[in-house]
A and B are shown apart, each in its own frame.
Chain A
Amino acid sequence: MSVSSSRITDALTDGRTALWALAGLFLLALEFGAAANFVVGLIIDGLLAVPGVDGVGFLAAVENAVQQIPTLLSRETIPNGGYYNGSGYEGTFLGLSPAMAWTLRATLVYAYAFAAFGWGVWGYRIYRREYRAADWTPRDDVFDRFRGHKWGIFGLVIVFMFVTMAVFAPALGPTTVDQNMRNSYGYETKYWDSDSGSVETVLVGDANLGSLSQGNDRNIGPWTYDDYGRFHPFGTMQDGSDLFTFLVVGSRISLVIGVLSVALSASIAATLALTSAYYKGRVDLSMVLISDAVMAMPQLLLLIMLTTVLRESWINEVYSGGFLLALIFAFTGWTYMWRSIRGPALQISEREWIDAARSFGQRPTTIMRKHMLPYVTGYLLIYGSMTLGGAIISIAGLSFLGLGVAPPTPEWGRAVNLGQNYVRTGSWHISLIPGILITLVVTGFNALGDGIRDAIDPQSDSAGGETAGAGGGA
């Protein structure tokens, strides 16, 4: 269906759509700096990754310029710095305590994220009502059913918050990984020394040493300030670094590895399943044999072996080993998904419209894509979302064992590991909070998968409402 320019101008002159477009522009403007920064950073990273390219020339200048653009949800706009000088707050945002400032920023981040989501749904609604040529598609039923599914909505909310956390990690954390952990002796922080009654400067690394959480004697618990006036929403870790920052940045790794491995698994599984379902016979048989062989390999041992062997290679550099992990997960884990969708794929391949497509000479790859894939996608989503939860747990487990993502890159599992000695003490927060988060996120993904599965239920596809009566159609 072609969209000519006249349709776009029609769209823009319609009141509701114009309003929606304006709202979108507004939202974009708020975060334009961050978005531009991200894009430029990506380009630069991409260029640098190409072997032989050492400098990026003018792009560095572009990057600098872009970094100057103010964005709403950044640490600069709503800082949580400043200090309490015994009688009032100084140097803080709007005179609020740092805790309040941080809470405000965090709330704004989430508000923005939900607003953006809402904006997207609004746009979809407008499109569906006004602009879409078909007055009904099968997806409508799926969305409608999902809307009423409470458990699924719960899952969606959790997952969305998790994704927001990962996307806005630099803005959410009270500080950054670079300042607080990686390069802590390269930065300084100011604090109010109540003894001397004045503002002192100290290296961040030293400040960390003074804010350890190691049991009942020394502990900076959740939602407290340390001796240097820094606010810690989740407390500090056993080496004094901020736990919250650790977790939000760690969420990125979990999400990226998880999504990457599941997406890759799903692609492999889908391709193989569709191919074996279309051709059947010997092709199917050999697929089954291959997948059985892969499944027979012990995933954990393979993981350990490969991470060790490939430690020095370039793959391991990417994302601190996260990329390698994702690849290994994908290539050993596709069998589960393949097994799950092989059944539905075989069922679909028996349907008559596949025959019809063959009869007018449609190419096999097109048949697989157009006529089989849409029916298998639902299953992929379901199994994918559940596998994602599993992937996150696996990565956390590996990090817990010390095998996964290498330090100092944060990862949730490692937090659990690092805090395990202190679980029974006042520093329980180091292990328990990440543990709870892991559980929550994985449950969220499973709930989402449940919701999708129930929404996709193929037996109740209908447009006008199939009713049980009217003669039973015999």
Chain B
Amino acid sequence: MSDALLEVENLRTVFHTEKETIRAVDGVSFDVQRGETVGLVGESGSGKSVTARSVLGLVEEPGVIEEGSIQFRGDELVGGNWEEHRGDIAIVFQDPMNSLNPVYTVGNQIKEALRIHQGLRGQEATDAAIELLEDVGIPDAARRVSEYPHQFSGGMRQRAVIAIALACDPDLLVCDEPTTALDVTIQAQILELLDELQREEDLGVLFITHDMGVIEETTDRVNVMYAGEFVESAPVDELFDAPKHPYTKGLLASIPGRTAGGDRLPTIEGEVPTSTSEPTECRFAPRCPHAFDACREVHPERIAVGDPDAAHEAACLLYDDEFEESPPEDGVVADGGETA
């Protein structure tokens, strides 16, 4: 789709360390349209943060984008063209205390962004900063604009970070675990705020998190990431109603509280691998309760699964017609058991 805001194709980001090369992102493709929120979910070691940083051009030594294309509004970013689009892609990181400079007032930091990206100065900039703080729901904005980050609470800091992001007048907002460090009620406020802002400004949002509940709440489409690859992509309702990939199923089943307590939680055995070699097999196979022989020899490609009207894809040989194994019935998840 040429009118996609962000189109990523076959992205591969690797880290060359002394001992080995780590393929943190290994052939990932997705796109983000205007006005939609695309989620990227995975556990630690899945590569989702590295994906976000690759899109933002923030990958540093010893990491490098080896292959693939990232197109923003049709312009190719890989190869160093991020500078031109700095204001169009804005970032919200996890820990606001790290994103805000403690020695400058919040207003100052917003005004800096306004100056760089919108050319505002002086009183104009101050007014715009106050308005932005109001937009993100900080009460008493006129006074708060001259306060320092440490005088803000956690939730307010995150709002301030969002205000700075908005000051760039972006088209695409990349949020890397923006609410993970916040309390649940504050998280609810921030998610509501992001939703509102997206509607008002018609933003495209790439939302990265490990919290399935947040994904369910906030996103329109979801990509599930494992060991540097996408194992499943679907509209959010579809994913939660009928997950197809064994990893997704395992992940959803191991979340406590989805049902009344008491039963043993189903678990996924093993640990997330660090990928150092080319994908010639399914990386989830060692942990998959439904793995069969071919899984260790053939690399599964993305195949359409589930509801044919929804754009639901999964990279699993169980759904590949070439192989005889058929997927288990929906809703059945094997119990992985304990491990050392």
Q: Which residue of A lies closest to B208 (CB)?
A: A474
B47 touches A467 (CB 8 A): no
A470 to B20, CA, bound (A): 12
Given contacts A470-B47, A472-B50, contact A465 B17 (CB under 8 A): yes
Distance from B121 Cβ to chain A, minimum over Cβ atoms (Å) = 36
Q: Is B215 an interface residue (CB 8 A)?
A: no
6 A-B pairs closest in CB distance: A469-B15, A472-B49, A469-B24, A473-B44, A469-B22, A471-B45
Q: Which residue of A lies closest to B18 (CB)?
A: A465
A465 touches B19 (CB 8 A): yes
A474 touches B45 (CB 8 A): no
Q: Which residue of A lies closest to B42 (CB)?
A: A471
Given contacts A465-B17, A465-B18, A465-B19, contact A470 B177 (CB under 8 A): no
A244 to B152, CA, bound (A): 69
Q: Is A468 an interface residue (CB 8 A)?
A: yes
B44 touches A471 (CB 8 A): yes
Q: Enumerate chain A residues within 8 angstroms of B63, measured Cβ to Cβ.
A: 468-469
Given contacts A474-B44, A474-B210, contact A467 B15 (CB under 8 A): yes
A471 touches B24 (CB 8 A): yes
Q: Is B248 an interface residue (CB 8 A)?
A: no
Distance from B93 Cβ to chain A, minimum over Cβ atoms (Å) = 9
Q: Which of B15, B22, B49, B274 contacts A474 (CB 8 A)?
A: B49
A468 to B53, CA, bound (A): 13
Distance from A466 Cβ to chain B, minimum over Cβ atoms (Å) = 9
A473 to B272, CA, bound (A): 11
Indicate with 1 or 0, residue by residue over A436-474, a CB within 8 angstroms of chain B CB atoms: 000000000000000000000000000001011111111
Q: Enumerate chain A residues within 8 angstroms of B94, measured Cβ to Cβ.
A: 474
What interface size band does chain A fall in?
Answer: under 10
Indicate with 1 or 0, residue by residue over B6-29, a CB within 8 angstroms of chain A CB atoms: 000000011101111010100000
Q: Which residue of B lies closest to A471 (CB)?
A: B45
Listed in ascending order, the chain A residues whose CB lies under 8 Å from chain B are 465, 467-474
Q: Is B122 an interface residue (CB 8 A)?
A: no
Q: Which residue of B lies closest to A464 (CB)?
A: B19
B17 touches A468 (CB 8 A): yes
Task: Known A-B contacts: A465-B17, A469-B14, A470-B45. Give 17 more (CB < 8 A).
Answer: A465-B18, A465-B19, A467-B22, A468-B62, A468-B63, A469-B17, A469-B47, A469-B63, A470-B274, A471-B42, A471-B45, A471-B47, A471-B48, A471-B49, A471-B272, A474-B49, A474-B210
A467 to B53, CA, bound (A): 16
Q: Enumerate chain B residues within 8 angstroms of A467, measured Cβ to Cβ.
A: 15, 17, 20, 22, 274
Q: Enumerate chain A residues within 8 angstroms of B53, measured Cβ to Cβ.
A: 472
Q: Is B218 an interface residue (CB 8 A)?
A: no
A474 touches B18 (CB 8 A): no
A77 to B307, CA, bound (A): 96
Q: Is B180 an interface residue (CB 8 A)?
A: yes
Q: Is B176 an interface residue (CB 8 A)?
A: yes
A111 to B169, CA, bound (A): 72
Indicate with 1 or 0, residue by residue over B46-60, a CB within 8 angstroms of chain A CB atoms: 111110010000000
B177 touches A474 (CB 8 A): yes
Q: Which residue of B lies closest to A468 (CB)?
A: B15
Q: Enumerate chain B residues within 8 angstroms of A469, measured Cβ to Cβ.
A: 13-15, 17, 22, 24, 47, 50, 63
A471 to B49, CA, bound (A): 6
